Amino acid sequence: MRHISLIVAALALAIAAPAIADKSGTPHGGGGGNDPAPASCTVSGNVVTASGLPTGVVINFQYTDATGTYGWVLGNSDNGAWSVNVLAPNGSTTYEFVSKTWGPNGSKYTVFANCSA
């Protein structure tokens, strides 16, 4: 009877171990097997476009230029694409489509796509 209990326990561990090993505890694809597929981003004139974004999650947009970093919530994308009208770049400017933020003052997030102008 004791051998059967050990066999059942070993079998349960063997089944559960792969599922437990893939959990990083980091939200929004920050680790493990949950990383989103890389999305693409382009800048054409005053429009920044991304494709390949995750669907069913909140997408934020932010840009960084010589004066600082600014951003806002876009919402959910049904088809993984989004276009944003932007002002003319102020020097070197980086645009990012990112996840919902977490951490102190929203300092942590996952970058889905980025491009520069």
Per-residue pLDDT tens over the stretch 59-106: 999 999 999 999 999 999 999 999 999 998 889 999 999 999 999 988
Report residue 29's pLDDT band, with 50, 70 and 90 as the boundaries.
Answer: very low
- Three-state DSSP at 27 gives coil
- Three-state DSSP at 89 gives coil
**So what's the pLDDT on residue 106?**
85
Check which CATH number belongs to the domain holding 95 and give it. Answer: 2.60.40.3080
Distance (Å, whole) CA 85 – CA 62: 12
Give which of 45, 39, 23 is closest to 82, Cα–Cα. Answer: 39
Q: Would residue 90 count as lying in a domain?
A: yes
Report which residue type is found at 106.
Answer: G
Q: Would residue 23 count as lying in a domain?
A: no
The number of folded domains in the chain is 1
Domain of 102? Answer: 37-116
Distance (Å, whole) CA 104 – CA 97: 20
Q: Would residue 3 count as lying in a domain?
A: no
Q: Would residue 10 count as lying in a domain?
A: no
Q: Would residue 92 count as lying in a domain?
A: yes
Query: Which residue has tokens 């990012």?
Result: 96
